[in-house]
Structure formats: structure tokens, C-alpha cells
């Protein structure tokens, strides 16, 4: 269990929080205004709120491809790399999988 | 005239330069008046959906108007006529019922309304009719993030079902973006928003006096078209000229044209400046 404030965080919530943090950090490479605009785009045109991303990775992946075209997977790789580093999982073992599958496997390996 | 058509443009196998056109009814609504056939100098034809710039004399040198959904930059020095061109683009269609949004980061909405009355363009009236939404974002450039302004623009477009947008100016909107790389990514992303909104957009770009480079040096590469408005001092008088270095998918004129700000708005001379 990970403590959050004075309460405790469910393991699933904790891994979601880690993933969201990684997404935040990866998108930050484009700049703060762009990151904020990406979240806005996800919400406006894909009905995808930031905190729903961990549960809707396939939609997130589709939206990334819509925004960045073939650059979408590059952003996904950035996210995955950070996630693997944080959860101490070998990136090489998941890097060739689809984003959703790779994230799920990384989370599972870290349990 | 509205019709339910599917257009099929098929290359003639025997003669590569000829195209055959068929259409069948599929229940999809298109505005056939806006669909235009154009021929370039080699006689090749293309089907395109054009939207008037609001200036008939400008439409003549860009094959009838802009491509629907395109993002066009209008770059110019102070006083060159960028805002007038932007308002004319919206006003002409708003009078006909097509709604538009004008997001101003430069001149307050009240001053813009006052100044446009000299052309007899009553923006307040069209605002009341919900045909024009004037977004005054002059005060919010620094206070809020650029994405908040973008959200306000997209909401305004949705609210009145706008098909035209003017951002005056893109330079003003991006004032607080720190780096060129971030600005470039932001413009690319903004283009995605505009695609989703299916809006034809004019973005003005401020060019300071005695400078020849436009914006941050990348905007013209990312836009679909670029119209440059120039003003220079000739024999103790300001002379205004316009040229179009870029208009994707349009066989546009390459000459430089004098233009005038008349009581009816902008009017482009039909004769290229060099030949006069």
C-alpha cells in the first residue's frame, strides 16, 4: 500500500498514479502549453479525461496517433520507458508490444 | 443548392490528362455551389470546395477562394490591413448566415466594433444574431495559459456552429510560449483542433517595421496558405501591396498587387503592381 496524505492508496490506484505521472512527464517534453492542450484535445474530441487514461489506454493510443500521426508511438515509447524505469522492469522485454499490452505487462511484472 | 451526391473523378485510361466525372445520390449532403472545377495552365482539372475570402477581387487571384478547412496566415506590418481583412472574411459570410468567431488578442472587442463601423459593418448586430462571436482575449494573454484561450475559442466555435475563425493575432496568442520548439508543437496541435472543428481559419501574424522575416520562422511552413500585406512609403505616401507566396492546392497568382482600404473594405487591384 502507498500512503497518500493521511489515507492509504489501493495498489491499482497507485499504479494508475504512476502511469499518469509518466504520461505527464513524457508529454512535458513538448512543453507545458502543448501538454495542457493535449489533455484538452483528449477530453474534447475523445471524451477522455486525464484520470481515465489508465483504464482507457486503447483510446489514448488512438488519440495519440490522431494528434501525432506516426509520431504517436514515439510518445508512447517515452511513456513506457519511464514506467519501466520507475517500476524496475526491463524495457527491452516489452518495447515491441502494443502500448496497452506493454503497459499491462509492465504493471503485472512489477506486482 | 443542396444535393445528395457522391462525386467520382476517374482518370481516363487512354488519355492521362483527361478526367471523367460521375456522381450518384448517396444521401450525403454537399453544397454544390461551393464545389468548383478549376483548370490550371496545363488544362488539368481538380475538384475543390472553395470558401470566399469575403473580398471578390482577392478571390479572383486564388481560384475562387480558400480551401474549406484550411488555415491561412495573413502576415503584415502594423496598419497593413490584417484585422480589416479578417473581419471582412467573417462579416461577408455572417451576413449570409454562416457563423464565424473572431478571437482578438490585439485590439479590444469594443474598439474593433467601433472601428469596423466605418465600413458599415455592424458587428454588434451580428453578435446579437449569434452569427459572429467576438472573443476579447486581449487581457488574458498573460493571465491564463495559451491552452485556456484555445479552449475558449473552440467553445465559441461550438456555441454558434461557426465555420470560419479568425485569430488576431497568432503572434499575440503565443506571446508567452517560451521556446520555438514548443510554439511549433502548439501550432501543429492547434491545427488538429481546427480540423476537428471543420473551420476555415485566418490567423494574422505581426511583422514589425523594418523586418522581413515572418513570425517565429516556422508558421508559414505549417499553414496551408500565406498572404503577405506590405506597406511602404513611396513619394511621401503609404502604398499597400499584397502577394501570395503560398496557397496549397490552389493555382494562385504569383504577382504583387496594390490593394486599397475603401469605404466598403479591402479591394485588390485587378492589375499586378509591376505591370501598372
Judged against a pLDDT cut of 80, whether residue B31 lies above it is answered with no
What is the CATH architecture of A11-110? Answer: Orthogonal Bundle (1.10)
Task: Supply the mean pLDDT for chain B.
Answer: 84
Mapping DSSP to helix (H, G, I), strand (E, B) and coil, where does residue A69 land?
helix
* Chain B residues with at least one Cβ partner in A under 8 Å: 145-148, 150-151, 154, 177-179, 181-182, 185-186, 189-190, 192-193, 196
**What 8-state DSSP symbol labels residue B31?**
E
Name the E strands within B56-213.
66-67, 71-76, 100-104, 132-136, 164-168, 200-206
The count of CB pairs under 8 A between chains A and B is 47
Mean pLDDT, rounded, for B190-208: 93
Judged against a pLDDT cut of 70, whether residue A1 lies above it is answered with no
Distance between CA B148 and CA B141 in Å, rounded? 10
A7-21, A46-60, B42-56, B135-149 — most confident range: A46-60
The residue among A28, A31, A32 with the most chain B CBs within 10 A of its CB, best to mutate, is: A31
Distance between CA B153 and CA B165 in Å, rounded? 9
Give the residue from B237, B235, B273, B267 showing the smallest Cα distance to B254.
Answer: B273
The pTM of the full predicted model, rounded to 2 decimals, is: 0.81
pLDDT of residue B138: 87
Name the E strands within chain B.
2-11, 19-31, 35-39, 45-51, 66-67, 71-76, 100-104, 132-136, 164-168, 200-206, 225-234, 237-247, 256-262, 265-272
Mean pLDDT, rounded, for B218-239: 88
Distance between CA A105 and CA A98 in Å, rounded? 10
Question: Nearest 5°: phi and psi at B99?
Answer: -75, 155
Q: Cis peptide before B150, with omega less than 30 degrees from 0?
A: no
Q: Per-residue pLDDT tens for A72-101? A: 999 999 999 999 999 999 999 998 999 999
pLDDT of residue B13: 42
Mean pLDDT, rounded, for B126-147: 86
Buried/exposed B37-73: b ≥16 CB within 10 Å, e otherwise: eeeeeeeeeeebbbbbbbbebbbebbbbbbbbbbbbb
Instruction: Lay out the sheet containing B45-51: strands in order across.
Output: B35-39, B45-51, B66-67
Judged against a pLDDT cut of 60, whether residue B51 lies above it is answered with yes
pLDDT of residue A9: 53
**Residues 3-22, chain A, touching B (beta carbon < 8 A):** none
Residue-range domain boundaries for chain A: 11-110
Share of chain B above pLDDT 70, in %: 81
- Min distance B211 CA to chain A CA atoms (Å): 28
pLDDT of residue B1: 37
- Min distance B184 CA to chain A CA atoms (Å): 9
Task: Name the pLDDT band for B43 (thresholds 50, 70, 90).
Answer: low
CA dihedral A21, A23, A27, A32 (to 10 degrees): -30
ipTM of the assembly?
0.80
Run of H or E residues at A25: helix A11-28
Cα end-to-end distance, chain B, whole Å = 40
Mapping DSSP to helix (H, G, I), strand (E, B) and coil, where does residue A95 land?
coil
Judged against a pLDDT cut of 90, whether residue B32 lies above it is answered with no
Q: Nearest residue of A to residue B196 by CA position?
A: A45
Place of cell 492521362: B16
For chain B, which domains are there?
Answer: 51-275 (3.40.50.300)
- Min distance B188 CA to chain A CA atoms (Å): 9
Q: Nearest residue of B to residue A43 by CA position?
A: B151
CA dihedral B138, B143, B146, B152 (to 10 degrees): -60
Q: Per-residue pLDDT tens for A12-71? A: 677 889 999 999 999 999 999 999 999 999 999 999 999 999 999 999 999 999 999 999
Amino acid at each position: 500500500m502507498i500512503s497518500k496524505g493521511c489515507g492509504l492508496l489501493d495498489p491499482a490506484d497507485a499504479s494508475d498514479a504512476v502511469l499518469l505521472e509518466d504520461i505527464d512527464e513524457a508529454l512535458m517534453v513538448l512543453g507545458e502549453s502543448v501538454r495542457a492542450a493535449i489533455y484538452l484535445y483528449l477530453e474534447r474530441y475523445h471524451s477522455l479525461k486525464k484520470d481515465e487514461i489508465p483504464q482507457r489506454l486503447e483510446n489514448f493510443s488512438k488519440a495519440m496517433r490522431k494528434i501525432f500521426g506516426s509520431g504517436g508511438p514515439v510518445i508512447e515509447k517515452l511513456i513506457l520507458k519511464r514506467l519501466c524505469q520507475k517500476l524496475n522492469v526491463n524495457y527491452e522485454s516489452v518495447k515491441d508490444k502494443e502500448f496497452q499490452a506493454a503497459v499491462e505487462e509492465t504493471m503485472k511484472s512489477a506486482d | 443548392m443542396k444535393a445528395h451526391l457522391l462525386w467520382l473523378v476517374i482518370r481516363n485510361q487512354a488519355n492521362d490528362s483527361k478526367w471523367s466525372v460521375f456522381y450518384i445520390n448517396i444521401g450525403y449532403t454537399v453544397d454544390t455551389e461551393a464545389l468548383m472545377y478549376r483548370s490550371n495552365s496545363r488544362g488539368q482539372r481538380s475538384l475543390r470546395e472553395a470558401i470566399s475570402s469575403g473580398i471578390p477581387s482577392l478571390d479572383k487571384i486564388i481560384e475562387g477562394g480558400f480551401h474549406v478547412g484550411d488555415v491561412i496566415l495573413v502576415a503584415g506590418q502594423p496598419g497593413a490591413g490584417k484585422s480589416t481583412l479578417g473581419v471582412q472574411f467573417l462579416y461577408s459570410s455572417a451576413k449570409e448566415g454562416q457563423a464565424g468567431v473572431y478571437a482578438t488578442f490585439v485590439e479590444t472587442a469594443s474598439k474593433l466594433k467601433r472601428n469596423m463601423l466605418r465600413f458599415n459593418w455592424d458587428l454588434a448586430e451580428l453578435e446579437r444574431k449569434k452569427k459572429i462571436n467576438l472573443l476579447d482575449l486581449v487581457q488574458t494573454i498573460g493571465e491564463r495559459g495559451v491552452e485556456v484561450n484555445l479552449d475558449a475559442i473552440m467553445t465559441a466555435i461550438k456555441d454558434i456552429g461557426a465555420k470560419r475563425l479568425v485569430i488576431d493575432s497568432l503572434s499575440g496568442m503565443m506571446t508567452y510560449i517560451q521556446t520555438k520548439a514548443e510554439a511549433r508543437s502548439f501550432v501543429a496541435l492547434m491545427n488538429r483542433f481546427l480540423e476537428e472543428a471543420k473551420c476555415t481559419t485566418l490567423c494574422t501574424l505581426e511583422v514589425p517595421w523594418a523586418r522581413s522575416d515572418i513570425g517565429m520562422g516556422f508558421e508559414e511552413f505549417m499553414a496551408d496558405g500565406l498572404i503577405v500585406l506590405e506597406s511602404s512609403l513611396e513619394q511621401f505616401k503609404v502604398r499597400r501591396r499584397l502577394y501570395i507566396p503560398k496557397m496549397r492546392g490552389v493555382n494562385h497568382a504569383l504577382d504583387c498587387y496594390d490593394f486599397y482600404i475603401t469605404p466598403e473594405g479591402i479591394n485588390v487591384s485587378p492589375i499586378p503592381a509591376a505591370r501598372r
